[in-house]
A and B are shown apart, each in its own frame.
Chain A
Amino acid sequence: MDAAERAVLDWFPFDVARMEAIGIEKDWFRPAREQYESVPMMRTLAAAMPADGARILGLTAVDISIPMLSFLFGQAQFNGPVALVSAARLRQEFYGMPADESLLLERLTKEVLHELGHTSGLIHCPETNCAMSLATHIGLVDMKKPSFCNGCGLQMVRRMSALQG
Chain B
Amino acid sequence: MKNIWQILVVDDEEVMCESMAAWLREDGYSVDTATRGREAVELASRTDYAIYFIDLKMPGGMDGIETLMEIRRLHPEASLVIITAYATVDTAIQAMKEGAQEYIVKPCNPQEISMLVSRIIKVKNLQRENEILRKKLTKQYNFRDVVTKNARMQDILQLTQDISSLRSTVLIRGESGTGKELIARAIHYSGSRAPEPFVAVNCAALTESLLESELFGYEKGAFTGAGAQTRGKFEMAEGGTIFLDEIGDISPKLQADLLRVLQEKAFYRVGGGVEVHVDVRVIAATNKDLQEAVRQERFRDDLYYRLNVIEIKIPPLRERREDIPLLTDHLVERISRELGKEIAGVSEGALNLLMDYDWPGNVRELENALERAMVTSRSRVLTEADFAFLEREVSAKRAWSVPGGVTMEELERRAIIATLERTSGNIKEAAAMLGIDRSTLYDKLKRYEIQR
Residues on A close to B: CB < 8 A?
9-13, 33, 37-39, 65-72, 75-78, 118, 123-127, 134, 136-137, 147-158, 160-162, 164-165
Contact = CB atoms under 8 A, between A and B. Distances in A.
A134 B26 CA distance: 9
Interface of B: 2-3, 13, 15-16, 18-20, 22-23, 25-28, 83, 106-111, 113-114, 342, 344, 347, 378-381, 383, 385, 420-421, 423-428, 438, 442, 445-446, 449-452
B424 A69 contact: no
Contacts of B451: 158, 161-162, 165
Contact of A68 (B113, B383, B425, B446): B113
B110 A78 contact: no
Contacts, number: 145
B107 A65 contact: yes
Contacts of B425: 11, 148, 153-157
A69 B22 contact: no
B380 A10 contact: no
Given A126-B380, A136-B114, A154-B381, A161 B450 contact: yes
Question: Lowest 7 CB-CB distances: which A-B pairs, in order?
Answer: A151-B379, A153-B425, A153-B424, A66-B19, A123-B28, A136-B111, A165-B449
A37 B26 contact: no
Contact of B108 (A68, A76, A152, A161): A68
Contacts of A126: 342, 380
A127 B378 contact: yes
A18 B3 CA distance: 35
Contacts of A118: 26
A136 B383 CA distance: 29
A125 B380 contact: yes
Contact of B26 (A12, A76, A150): A76
B452 A158 contact: yes
A124 to B, nearest CB: 5
B223 to A, nearest CB: 57
A78 B18 CA distance: 11
Interface secondary structure of A, over-half rule: mixed
B338 to A, nearest CB: 17
Nearest to B118: A134
8 contacts: A39-B18, A67-B15, A68-B106, A69-B109, A76-B22, A134-B114, A153-B424, A161-B450
Contacts of B420: 154, 157
Contacts of A75: 19, 22-23
A70 B107 contact: yes
B346 to A, nearest CB: 10
A137 B111 contact: yes
Nearest to A71: B110
Contacts of B438: 9
Given A124-B27, A149-B380, A154-B425, 19 more contacts: A39-B15, A66-B15, A66-B16, A66-B23, A68-B108, A72-B110, A123-B2, A136-B110, A147-B426, A151-B380, A151-B381, A153-B425, A153-B426, A154-B381, A155-B381, A157-B427, A161-B446, A161-B451, A164-B442
A77 B21 CA distance: 11
Given A127-B379, A151-B379, A153-B424, A67 B114 contact: no
A134 to B, nearest CB: 6
Contacts of A137: 111
Contacts of B28: 123-124
Contact of A38 (B19, B379, B381): B19
A93 B13 CA distance: 34
Contacts of B109: 69-70, 136
Nearest to B85: A67
Nearest to A136: B111
Give the interface centre of B107, B425, B428 by most chain A CB atoms within 10 Å.
B425
Contacts of B113: 68-69
Nearest to A10: B428
A89 to B, nearest CB: 11
B379 A33 contact: no
